[in-house]
Chains A and B, each alone.
Chain A
Amino acid sequence: MRDESPIPLVFKVVAGLALLVLLLPLAIVVLAGLNAGDYLTFPPQGLSLRWVKAFLSSPVFLSAYFYSFLLALAATAISTVIGTLAALYLARSGSRAAAFLRGYFMLPIVLPGVVLGLSLYVFFTTTDIGLARTFTGLLICHVLVTSPFVIATVTASLVGFDVSLEEAARSLGASPWTAFRKVTLRIIAPGISAGCIFAFIVSFGQFETTLFLSVPNREPLPMAMYISLRYKFEPTAAAAGIFAIALVVISTIITSRLVSLRRVFRA
Chain B
Amino acid sequence: MAIAETQAISSIRSGGSITEALGGFRLWWLVVPAFVLFLCFFVVPAVSLFAIAFDKSVPGVVTFAGNFTFDNFVRIFTRPLYYMAILRSIGIAAVVAACALVIGYPLAFVIAKTEHPGRNTFLMILVLSAMQLDTVIRMYGLMVLLGDSGLVNGALLASGLISKPLPLMYNTFGVVVGLVQVTLPFMVLSLIGIIKAIHPSLEEAARSLGATRAQAFWRVVLPLSMPGILAGSLLVFALSISSYVVPALMGGWKVMVLPIHIYQQIAETGRWQFGAAIAVVLFLTSLLAVFIYHKAAARTAGGRT
Using CB atoms and an 8 Å cutoff, list the residues of chain A in contact with chain B: 1, 6-8, 10-15, 17-19, 21-29, 32, 40, 42, 81-83, 85-86, 88-94, 97, 101, 103-116, 118-120, 122-123, 126, 140-141, 143-144, 147, 151-153, 156-167, 170, 175-177, 179-180, 187, 190-191, 194, 197-198, 201, 204-205, 207-208, 211, 221-222, 225-226, 229, 237-238, 240-241, 244-245, 247-249, 252-253, 256, 260
Nearest chain A CB to B4 CB, angstrom units:
9
What separation, in Å, do the CA atoms of A115 and B279 have in the docked complex?
7
Given contacts A112-B244, A187-B3, are A248 and B279 in contact (CB under 8 A)? no
Cβ A160 vs Cβ B33 within 8 A: no
Q: Does B75 contact A (CB under 8 A)?
A: no
Q: Which of B7, B207, B267, B276 contacts A160 (CB 8 A)?
A: B7
For residue B22, which residues in chain A have a CB less than 8 angstroms away from its CB?
176, 180
Q: Is A161 a contact of B12 with CB atoms below 8 Å?
A: yes
Contact, CB under 8 Å: A111 / B242: yes
Interface residues of B in 140-189 (CB under 8 A from A): 140-142, 144-145, 151, 177, 180-181, 184-185, 188-189
A162 and B48 alpha carbons, distance in the complex (Å): 42
Q: How far is the CB of A102 from chain B (nearest CB, A)?
A: 10
Among A118, A122, A152, A208, contact of B244 (Cβ-Cβ < 8 Å): A208
A8 contact set on B, CB distance < 8 A: 213, 217
Query: Quick check: is B197 within 8 A (CB to CB) of the other chain?
Result: yes
Q: How far is the CA of A19 from the CA of B17 in the complex (A)?
A: 45
- Min CB–CB distance B110 → chain A (angstroms): 4
- Provide the main secondary structure of the chain A interface: helix
Our pick among A122, A157, A248 for the contact of B132 (Cβ within 8 Å) is A248
The reply to whether A109 and B62 form a contact with Cβ atoms under 8 Å apart is no
Closest to B228 in A: A156
- The answer on a CB contact under 8 Å between B194 and A156 is yes
Q: Which residues of A contact B180 (CB under 8 A)?
A: 21
Name A119's contact: one of B45, B126, B133, B286 (CB within 8 Å). Answer: B45
Number of A-B residue pairs, CB cutoff 8 Å, is: 320
Nearest CB of A to B147, in Å:
10
7 CB < 8 A contacts A-B: A25-B144, A93-B27, A119-B46, A156-B193, A162-B6, A197-B128, A207-B134
Q: Which residues of A contact B27 (CB under 8 A)?
A: 88-89, 92-93
B213 touches A88 (CB 8 A): no
A256-B121 contact, Cβ under 8 Å, with A109-B239, A165-B3: yes
Evaluate whether A244 and B133 lie within 8 angstroms (CB atoms) in the complex, with A109-B238, A256-B117, A256-B121 already known.
Answer: yes
